[in-house]
């Protein structure tokens, strides 16, 4: 069985991730296969819409397959990572800007690269099992794959909270934060997909469940009060509170990469509520293109994935404005979207 199944059924282009034992982690080849399919279907009148789903119960896509990134980066080859991120971000832009409807069905874990594939499309479906998060700061990256745009659009300071702490959202909070559109029971998905395939329209999509629990909404006032200012100011504000969420947030901020968190805050500030996908991806790429050589990415992967000692030795404890600016300054070879016009 291949890692991905791409086919046309009825009037619908179908993309199914098929690495359930690896939580459907997205490889470079999988990303490029999706990109090629979308390009082929753009002018194919048979394909009226696209459906993206995944096998297994545990995850739609729990992130990117980063073993090759680590192996090449530790060998001193930073070009492979830059190509990986550049091409993945072009896919994210194509998904967000596609002129035909795309429906994603996202169960279980949806993180990192999974957000990039499933959370920018026109119709985003979740179920009771869905857990969405942007955990990049824990491995020395900033929230990427266009996720910084969604965070920048989230209510109040929720985006800063989610980006810095890597907190997981259930279906209600994911919809409220802008990562999904509607909740539909998983048992109904096969019939809905069959109707989408037959009709080539989104008429078969029900409105979905309302009144879902949104626990983060209950903490919005505290989040808004604490997650403003610099990283150090946020830590100080959190330390003044004794609620569970503030203690958990403070613990996360003490665990994640200070450089990544400080840059993520600056990115959200620059993007703001009106940012588009290309602005977000351009800023993200400025950081990720430098993340191996100048950031904490390789150390973060070592600590979390390779050695699993959960004891990363970050390069910075306090991050200066100059260091933030250096990681976000324009690149000699900026991210190019020329091909993304379909």
Q: Name which of 242, 190, 179 is nearest 214 in CA terms.
A: 179
Out of 113, 118, 159, 170, pick the active-site residue.
113
Q: Is 300 a catalytic residue?
A: no
Kindly tell me the number of DSSP H helices and DSSP E strands found in the chain.
Answer: 16, 9
> Strand pairing of 4-9 and 12-17?
antiparallel
Question: Which letter, b or e, does each residue of 164-183 get, where b requires 16 or more Cβ atoms within 10 Å of its Cβ?
Answer: bbbbbbbbbbbbbbbbbbbb
Q: How far is CA 241 from the centre of its chain?
A: 29
- Which listed residue (65, 144, 219, 284) is catalytic? 144
The strand order across the sheet containing 131-133 reads: 59-61, 109-111, 131-133
Give the residue among 149, 107, 104, 146 at the shortest CA–CA distance from 122: 104
Catalytic pick from 64, 116, 140, 170? 64
E runs forming strands in the chain: 4-9, 12-17, 49-54, 59-61, 102-106, 109-111, 123-126, 131-133, 182-183
Annotation marks residue 254 as catalytic: no
The alpha carbon of 302 is separated from its chain's Cα centroid by a whole number of angstroms, namely 21
* 293 included as an active-site residue: no
Residues in the chain: 342
Choose the catalytic residue: 53, 65, 88, 136.
136
Q: Does 113 participate in catalysis according to the annotation?
A: yes
The catalytic residue positions are 64, 113, 136, 144
């Amino acid at each position: 069985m291949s890692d991905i199944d791409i086919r046309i059924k009825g009037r619908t282009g179908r993309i199914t991730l098929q690495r359930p034992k690896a939580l459907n982690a997205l490889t470079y080849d999988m990303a490029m296969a999706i990109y090629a399919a979308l390009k082929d279907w753009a002018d194919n009148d048979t394909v009226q819409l696209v459906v993206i789903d995944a096998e297994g119960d545990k995850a739609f896509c729990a992130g990117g397959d980063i073993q090759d990134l680590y192996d090449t980066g530790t060998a001193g080859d930073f070009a492979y990572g830059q190509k990986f991120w550049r091409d993945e971000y072009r896919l994210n832009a194509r998904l967000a800007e596609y002129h035909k409807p795309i429906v994603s069905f996202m169960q279980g874990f949806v993180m990192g690269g999974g957000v990039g594939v499933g959370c920018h499309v026109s119709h985003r479906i979740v179920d009771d099992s869905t857990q969405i998060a942007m955990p990049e700061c824990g491995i020395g990256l900033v929230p990427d794959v266009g996720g910084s745009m969604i965070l920048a659009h989230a209510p109040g300071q929720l985006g800063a909270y989610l980006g810095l702490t890597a907190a997981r959202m259930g279906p209600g909070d994911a919809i409220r934060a802008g990562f999904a559109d509607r909740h539909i029971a998983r048992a109904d998905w096969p019939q809905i997909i069959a109707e989408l395939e037959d009709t080539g329209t989104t008429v078969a999509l029900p409105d979905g469940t309302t009144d879902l629990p949104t626990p983060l909404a209950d903490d919005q006032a505290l989040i808004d009060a604490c997650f403003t200012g610099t990283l150090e100011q946020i830590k100080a504000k959190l330390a003044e509170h004794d609620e569970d969420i503030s203690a958990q947030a403070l613990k996360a901020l003490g665990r994640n990469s200070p450089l990544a968190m400080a840059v993520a805050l600056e990115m959200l500030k620059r993007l703001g509520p009106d940012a588009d996908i290309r602005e977000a991806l351009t800023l993200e790429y400025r950081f990720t293109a430098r993340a191996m050589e100048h950031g904490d990415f390789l150390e973060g992967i070592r600590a979390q994935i390779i050695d699993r000692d959960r004891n990363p030795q970050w390069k910075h404890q306090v991050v200066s404005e100059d260091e933030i600016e250096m990681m976000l300054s324009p690149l000699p070879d900026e991210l190019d979207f020329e091909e993304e016009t379909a």
